[in-house]
Amino acid sequence: MAKKQVSVELGNTYAHVIVGSKNNISDYGTITVHEDQIRNKENLFCQREVISALGKWLNRNRIRESDISFIIQGSDIITRYIEVPVMKDKLLKEAIEYELSQFIPEMDRYYTDYEILEKCQQDKKNQVYRLLLVAAPKEKMDKFMELVSILNMNVKTIDILSNSMARVIKNGPISKAVEDVGVFNFGARSSNFFIMEEGMLKLERTLIFGTDNLTKDVEFGAKEGYILGEKLEDIFYKYPKVKTNLDNALNIIAKTIQFYNSGKRDKKLSRIIIISEFVLIDNLMKYMESYFGTECVLVRKTEDLGVKIKIKESFHRYIGAYGMFLRRD
């Protein structure tokens, strides 16, 4: 039986926790901290209040595992996908340091790491490593490690959200048989968009935009009807700022796709996968299909991802944390 793990996707004011292994989930839950409870409003990421609430959840549910893994996100985390010839470890590290120095001018301010995503055959004679390079600000990560020390657990692994989600998505029928896909993880306060090519993470973008941006301009008295599923066109007519906010976010995604397709004669993505618990997501999917001219599909159930585990809550919120169980260390 596989050893149980504790995996946590950590956001600004929440933590999605899942305990178990690839084929068996024993505990899971979402911890939320209202913004009013957070003392330092200048930097919401990983505040002590969120970590403290996580510790109470672990104790309340009698989680006794000694190791814990975290999935983090943020616009200040730099990622790059590269391919290098297969080589010995020492030479590989030197090659990676050189690649990192090409796009990080002040290397001493960052912690860097890499993951070998795949070893594949380039041609009949040569093999290559497909690598994901990651750089995170030392100031941010030092504060993070200081905060999580109150849990008295060993931090086994830290990964980025898009990479962890990509591990889950690439094995599912929703992404197979297509060359490249975009994934729009549409959250409440922030979202992220990333592109996968042949199952490998190629490019990502964090958006300081979420479902809250679509609802905050709707009066409280009208919100109930809004939530129950009016046509998106009617909502745009009643609340023009909603359309403006949405189009601004989709424009950022369009520019990300354009950057990915540089030199490919404006080739469109094969498919865009949408992950969200937003109640109007079906309407939004149709709008995005029209906006991008690309097939959009929703993740509706675990089977869409090829995942056989069953949990009572929506699996959408646990995809990032679950992806840590698929990591090949």
What is residue 105's three-state secondary structure?
Answer: coil
Are 214 and 241 part of one and the same domain?
yes
Q: Is 143 part of any domain?
A: yes
* CATH number, domain with residue 96: 3.30.1490.300
Instruction: Say if residue 45's pLDDT is above 70.
Output: no
Are 148 and 41 part of one and the same domain?
yes
Q: Is 292 part of any domain?
A: yes
Are 99 and 160 part of one and the same domain?
no
Percent of the chain residues past pLDDT 90, beyond the cut: 35
Beta strands in the chain (DSSP E): 5-10, 14-21, 24-32, 67-72, 78-85, 110-121, 127-137, 154-160, 180-186, 191-197, 200-207, 271-275, 296-298
Are 229 and 318 part of one and the same domain?
no
In whole angstroms, give the CA distance from residue 212 to residue 223.
Answer: 12
- Of 44-58, 143-157, 166-180, where does the model show the most confidence? 143-157
Are 157 and 44 part of one and the same domain?
yes
Instruction: Say if residue 19's pLDDT is above 90.
Output: yes
Are 156 and 106 part of one and the same domain?
no
Q: Is 17 part of any domain?
A: yes
Are 51 and 192 part of one and the same domain?
no
Are 65 and 111 part of one and the same domain?
no
Q: Is 264 part of any domain?
A: yes
Average pLDDT value for the chain: 84
Q: Is 229 part of any domain?
A: yes
As a whole number, mean pLDDT of residues 37-66 equals: 76
Q: Is 250 part of any domain?
A: yes
pLDDT of residue 117: 83
Instruction: Say if residue 43's pLDDT is above 70.
Output: no
pLDDT of residue 281: 78
**106-132, pLDDT tens digit by residue?**
889 999 998 888 888 777 788 888 898
For the entire predicted model, the pTM comes to 0.86
As a whole number, mean pLDDT of residues 159-177 equals: 87
Instruction: Say if residue 234's pLDDT is above 90.
Output: no
* CATH number, domain with residue 32: 3.30.420.40
Q: Is 170 part of any domain?
A: no
Are 20 and 64 part of one and the same domain?
yes
Which range marks the domain in which residue 12 is found?
5-74+139-165+307-326
* Number of domains, the chain: 3
Q: Is 47 part of any domain?
A: yes
